[in-house]
Structure 1
Amino acid sequence: MSQVAASVRRPNRRGLATRENMLEAALRALASGDPASVSANRIAKDIGATWGAVQYQFGDTDGFWAAVLHRTAERRADVFTTVDQAAPLRDRVAGIIDTLYDGLAEPDSRAIENLRAALPRDHAELERLYPRTAAELFSWGQSWLQICVDAFAGLDVDPDRVREVATLIPGAMRGLVSERQLGSYADLDVARRGLTKALVAYLQPTP
């Protein structure tokens, strides 16, 4: 075994279990929507851990929130594999919209929305106070753009329009999910069909 390999300390089973418990406790707490749940110290206390234990596992609050974001990204990594890349444009757009409509109501998504609401809105301030968390959020944005690029691969679609649509869709879908949660009188199935048609018309290659 090399000296480098020998110097790497593998986390023991108990340490891994503690880390997993903390991440799952964080997601449960954040999914409640309670703004007070955005507290690494409070989450540690909820599972009978100390702040020192959080620091040992994640370094600090920034490391903790970055790990929470990374955990949800891992769990949703294969969500968009259901988009059929052999399907016509309309089916691909509808697949993305339907997947987001269902996924944004899941506990992990609610947890992330609550966390993001508590973080600084200004990018410079976020990067100054929570550099690892900011890097994870930036990575999410890049991954989402790549998902959209891959979803429309093989079609003669303007890449600039794909980028614009990729920026638009998450916010639009959060609006529809919010309407569903608030008990809107609007027919949200009609809204989704309308959004699908509008995006298809915008992305449709010009003959």
Structure 2
Amino acid sequence: MTDAEVVQPPRTNRRGDATRKNMLDAALRALSTGDPGAVSANRIAKEIGATWGAVKYQFGDADGLWAAVLRRTAERRAHSFESTEPTTPLRARVAAIIDTLYDGLTATDSRAIENLRAALPRDPLELERLYPQTAAELKSWGQSWLATCQQAFSDVDVDPDRVREVAAFIPGAMRGITSERQLGSFADLDLARRGLTNAIVAYVSTRAHS
């Protein structure tokens, strides 16, 4: 094979990558307003000053756009739970998870994803049928979150089912506490977080009776 015949790797289209990133950031800003009408690929295209054809060129369709939005937020929170390593005391690990969610659930990305999820089909089968890429991305979120919890308790002699239970209820519990924060609750939310932290530590530290 001559030098002329050597296949060169494709060059990175930096301009295209920047355009894609700008579109995703603009989509997140639009979604984070909480306006249900913002969950419209056509409307987002208009708000970012692009044609629907340009958005389709980057993402394929609305499903591709929503999946890319989810992936973008996942990339930005990739290192959020680094303090949950087993080298950290157990209570500090759990407190770090609770505090990270407490702060993160009011961030722009979280508000955007909540608005997007509220507009998507509730039935998993319907979601997979209409938005297969988005459904796959949401499923990967669940798997990543479970892996985070498994890592956090990897040095604790705990029934794996308990870890799955904790992973399942923490997001809902934290959304409830975050909602109280946004509504201006009379409850002591610092106390609530400490109580939830202590309850989780006690639950994973106590062996279940057979």
> What TM-score range do you get, normalising by the shorter chain?
over 0.9
Segments of 5+ residues of structure 2 without an aligned counterpart are: none
1:90 corresponds to:
91
1:169 CA drift (Å): 0.2
In structure 1, what is the equivalent of residue 138 of structure 2? 137
SS of the equivalent of 1:79 reads: coil
Moved beyond 4 Å, runs of 4+: 3-6, 8-11
Q: Indicate the residue corresponding to 1:108 in structure 2.
A: 109
1:3-27 CA deviation, whole Å, 9 max, x = no partner? Answer: 9965x75552322222111100001
Quote the sequence identity (%): 72
Match of 2:28? 27
Which ranges in structure 1 are unaligned for 5 or more consecutive residues? none
SS in 2 for 1:120: coil
In structure 2, C-alpha distance between the alignment counterparts of 1:11 and 1:58, rounded to whole Å:
17
In structure 2, the residue matched to 1:199 is 200
Aligned-partner SS, 2:185: coil
Give the number of aligned pairs.
206
What are the superposed Cα offsets for residues 44-84 of structure 1, whole Å, 9 maximum, x if unpaired? 11121100011100000000000000000000000000224
Matched, 1:70 2:71: yes
Q: Which residue of 2 aligns with 1:58?
A: 59
| Residue equivalent to 2:155 | 154
Question: TM-score, normalized by length of structure 2?
Answer: 0.92
Alignment of 1:42 onto 2:43: yes
TM-score (norm 1): 0.93
1:2-13 equivalences under 5 Å are 10=11, 12-13=13-14
Does the 8 Å CA contact 1:158/1:205 hold for their aligned counterparts? no
1:125-154 per-residue CA deviation (whole Å, 9 max, x = no partner) reads 000000000000000000000000011111
Deviation string, structure 1 residues 142-187 (Cα, Å, up to 9, x no partner): 0000000011111112211001000000110011111101111111
Secondary structure of residue in 1 paired with 2:81: helix
Mapped pair 1:184 → 2:177: no
| CA distance 1:155–1:4, change in 2 (3 Å) | farther
Check if 1:79 corresponds to 2:90.
no
1:50–1:10 distance in 2 versus 1, CA, 3 Å = farther
Q: CA separation in 2, counterparts of 1:109 and 1:53?
A: 26
- Aligned counterparts of 2:85 and 2:196: Cα–Cα separation in 1: 19
Could you tell me how far apart the structure 1 residues matched to 2:37 and 2:27 are?
12
Residues 38 and 115 of structure 1 are in contact (CA less than 8 Å); yes or no, is this contact kept in structure 2?
yes
Alignment deviations for residues 62-108 of structure 1 (CA, whole Å, 9 cap, x no partner): 00000000000000000000224223322221111111111111111
Query: What displacement does 1:205 show?
Result: 3.3
